[in-house]
Structure 1
Amino acid sequence: MTVPLNRSLLPHRISTYDLHVFAAIAEAGSITRGAESMHLSLAAASTRLQKMEHALGTELLHRSKLGVRLTDAGRTLLRHAGRLERELEILHAEMAAFAHGIRSTVRVLCNTAAMTEYLPPLIGRFLAEHQEVDIDLRELGSQDVLSAMRQEQADIGIVADYVRTEGLSTRFFREDRLVAVFPSVRRPRQTTSVQFADLLTHPFVGLPSESGLSRFIQNQAIQYGRGIHYRVRVRSLDTVVSLVADEVGIAIIPETTARRLASPKIDLLPLEDPWANRKLLLCTASDAVPEGPAAVFLDYLSGSALAR
């Protein structure tokens, strides 16, 4: 015999609407005003709030005649509610893209050099020719790209060849040489190249500490038991070079960037260190051949390397 399900005994499941109600109450500082903003009766809003607290096993609000204020648990829930709302907005946007005929997204992870120098013009041409495709592009350090690729978090990865790529298929993409950039007035005289260790007494300008290039350079400094004094960190390599030209400090950047932004106010010197001469590699999972748009984009990137 089937026992009928008694839904009154089931725990309350918190819905996204519950979170909207809670956020409205928290913002208003009052259950009454929060309920009004959600077009709910005071009783209905209070019931939803009580069921959430029961489900979570803790109070979310301190109640008083003057209104309500968040408990520690309430602040935590509000923070997660905001994050979930943003993720839902992203979800709706992506689903809307499908509804408008954009049927595929290629996930690409890459290091700083690929993100700033090599991919932008290629992606522009590719997307113009493939209107049905989106590209989800994110920057990570090369080691983090490999970790994500091994967990199948992306279709294509682009890394510098100083990392170990066992378990992945690789193809050559670009040469990526790093150089030191100086204000012209401070360039070491009578030299045509420089060792990284000799630069560590200079103040630097760089990208944020979480960027792949900054982490790579910092790791090289650690090999010498030294730190790097950054006078300022900024979001783009263009701004880095501009600050070097203003004599704020020196920088280590891809040679392609330095030459693209060349001016009489800056000079570049090749680094003598072997690690400064890098190759960028296209990576894919070795046990799965990319299909569909991912395969098309991979071939497009590979073809651009051969065409150089």
Structure 2
Amino acid sequence: MHAMADRNPHYRIDPFDLRLFAAVAEAGTITAGARGVHLSLAAASARLQALEQAVGAALMQRAKTGVTLTDAGRTLLRHAGRLQREMEALHAGMAAHAHGVRATVRLLGNTAAISEHLPPLLGPFLAAHPQVDIELRELDSQDVLFAMRQERAELGIVADYVATAGLTTRAFREDRLVAVLPATLAPGRPRAMAFAELLAQPFVGLPAEAGLSRFLQARALQQGRGLHHRVQVPGFEALLRLVADGVGVAVVPALTARRLADPRVRVRPLSDAWAMRQLLVCFSSAQALTPAAAALLDALVVQ
């Protein structure tokens, strides 16, 4: 087994050393790996030894037939691959700036905001601001607030049932959740129904990590029940199609039910108070917003 020297606390891992290590792991020999990154065998060996000293563990077992990664080496290889991809993304992002002044606005939102309210607004904004990119991510409202307080985004859109203390908010849109049922389960005249009435039926839902799924699961637990999902699908189009086929019931934004109307689906208002929400745009302060984020905020709230 390859003997380890004491860890060198002053050495800092060089990204090039990670590239060399990945090349050696892929090639199976130090000689071939060194050739791949244009180093001599002696230089490559010295750098690999320094890398092992830096991490304090043997990364590979050396033999005449080649090298075999240790457990520590396999762990480092996974991290090295991710870091190389991040570096490539960094270079690509900086290359975009080299062709002009660019800005990226990080925008978080709940399911209703991302799927229904934002698409009609973002197209015109991006067309009018060709030097601005938007990094968009869906989270439930509680997670949006957590991310905002950690300054991981400039703007977030949440439902008003969460506490936004410490953040500035602006009214964005009213959003109503409705029940959608197969026509065979909802004969007769339309009527409002409580969410608790749906819990006896199997559900069709979005993936478990979707903001709306997490919200509805929490509401079900408040009733002392869980949601029984027959199937969870990645988008509202598939969800409504499965409801129409009689697979189960669902809760969706009213705008979604209207946009994807199907004669085989019945839409019923929910009588629960939480089904009518005010969506809010939140941010740390107007003074802290970048010019691009401030322009996007104006586009979202002045409608």
Same fold (TM over 0.5): yes
Shift of 1:147: 1.6
Query: In structure 2, how many angstroms separate the alpha carbons of the residues matched to 1:132 and 1:250?
Result: 43
Cα displacement (A) at 1:104: 1.7
- Match of 1:134, SS? strand
Greater alpha carbon shift after TM alignment, 220-229 vs 183-192: 183-192
How far apart are the structure 2 equivalents of 1:303 and 1:31? 61
Match of 1:164 in 2: 163
- Once residues 206 and 251 of structure 1 are traced to their aligned partners in structure 2, the CA distance between those partners, rounded to angstroms, is 6
Aligned 8 A contact 1:160 1:280 in 2: yes
Which stretch of structure 1 is more off in the superposition, 176-185 or 212-221? 176-185
The amino acid of 1:113's aligned partner reads A
- Displacement of 1:166 in angstroms is 1.1
For the Cα contact (< 8 Å) 1:184–1:267, is it kept in 2?
A: yes
Number of the residue aligned with 1:206? 205
What is residue 132 of structure 2 aligned with on the other side? 133
Name the counterpart of 1:54: 53
Shift of 1:101: 1.3
How far apart, in 1, do the equivalents of 2:89 and 2:116 lie?
27
2:97 maps to which residue? 98
Letter in 2 for 1:158: I
Whole-angstrom CA distance in 2 between matches of 1:200 and 1:29? 57
Q: 1:15 to 1:218 in 2, by over 3 A?
A: same
Map Cα deviations across residues 44-96 of structure 1 (whole Å, 9 max, x no partner). Answer: 22222111101111011133344322222112111111111121122112211
Go from structure 1 to structure 2 and tell me whether the alpha carbon gap of 1:256 and 1:61 turns closer, same or farther (over 3 Å shift).
same
The answer for the alignment partner of 1:146 in structure 2 is 145
Task: State the Cα deviation string for residues 260-280 of structure 1 (Å, max 9, x = none).
Answer: 000112221111111111110
SS in 2 for 1:197: helix
Counterpart position of 1:247: 246
Letter matched to residue 106 of structure 1: V
Q: Which runs of 5+ in 1 are unaligned?
A: 1-8
Q: CA deviation at 1:179?
A: 0.9
CA distance in 1 between counterparts of 2:44 and 2:204 reads 53
Once the two structures are TM-superposed, the CA of residue 20 in structure 1 deviates from its matched residue by 0.9
Distance in 2 (alpha carbons) for counterparts of 1:268 and 1:61: 62
CA distance in 2, matches of 1:290, 1:20: 37
TM-score (norm 2): 0.91
- 172-181 vs 201-210, which deviates more? 201-210
Tell me how far apart the structure 1 counterparts of residues 133 and 101 of structure 2 sit (CA, whole Å): 7
What residue is the counterpart of 2:273 in the other structure? Answer: 274
Secondary structure at the aligned position of 2:62 is classed as strand
C-alpha displacement at 1:190, in angstroms?
4.8
Q: Which stretch has the larger CA shift, 96-105 or 14-23?
A: 96-105
| Offset from partner CA, 1:100-119 (integer Å, 9 cap, x none) | 21422222111111111111
- Indicate how the Cα distance of structure 1 residues 160 and 67 shifts in structure 2: closer, same or farther if over 3 A, else same: same
For 2:146 and 2:264, the matched residues in 1 are separated by 40
| Residue matched to 1:3 | none
Residue 232 of structure 1 corresponds to which residue in structure 2?
231
How far apart, in 1, do the equivalents of 2:212 and 2:223 lie? 18
Shift of 1:291: 4.4
Distance 1:87 1:188, change over 3 A: farther
Shift of 1:201: 1.9
Aligned to 2:116: 117
User: Following the alignment from structure 1 to structure 2, what is the Cα–Cα distance between the partners of residues 249 and 29?
Assistant: 53
Establish whether residue 184 from structure 1 lines up as the match of residue 170 from structure 2. Answer: no
Distance 1:185 1:10, change over 3 A: closer
Distance 2:28 2:188 in 1: 66
Give aligned-pair identity as a percent.
Answer: 60
Return the letter of the residue paired with 1:202: Q
Query: What residue is the counterpart of 1:6 in the other structure?
Result: none
Would the aligned equivalents of 2:9 and 2:54 in 1 still touch at CA under 8 Å?
A: no
Q: How big is the shift at 1:289?
A: 5.2
- Opposite residue 58 of structure 1, the aligned amino acid is A
Amino acid at match of 2:161: Y
Q: Is the 8 A contact 2:181 2:250 kept in 1?
A: yes
- Structure 1 residue 98: deviation in Å? 1.1
Q: Which moved more, 1:193-202 or 1:210-219?
A: 193-202
Alignment of 1:75 onto 2:113:
no
1:30 maps onto 2:34 in alignment: no
* Letter matched to residue 164 of structure 1: A
**How far apart are residue 23 of structure 1 and its match?**
1.0
- SS of 2:208's equivalent in the other structure is coil
CA contact (8 A) 1:167 1:286 kept: no
> Is the 2:180–2:265 Cα contact (8 Å) retained in structure 1?
yes
Give 1:29 deviation, angstroms.
2.6
Aligned with 2:25: secondary structure? helix
Quote how far apart the aligned CAs of 1:189 are.
4.4
Unaligned runs of 5+ in 2: 1-7
Please provide the CA RMSD for this pair. 1.9
**Pair 224,26 (structure 1): closer, same or farther in 2 beyond 3 Å:** same
Structure 1, 30-39 or 253-262: larger mean CA deviation: 30-39
- 1:289, 1:188 → 2: CA distance? 54
Moved more, 66-75 or 266-275: 66-75
Give the C-alpha shift of residue 188 in structure 1: 5.3
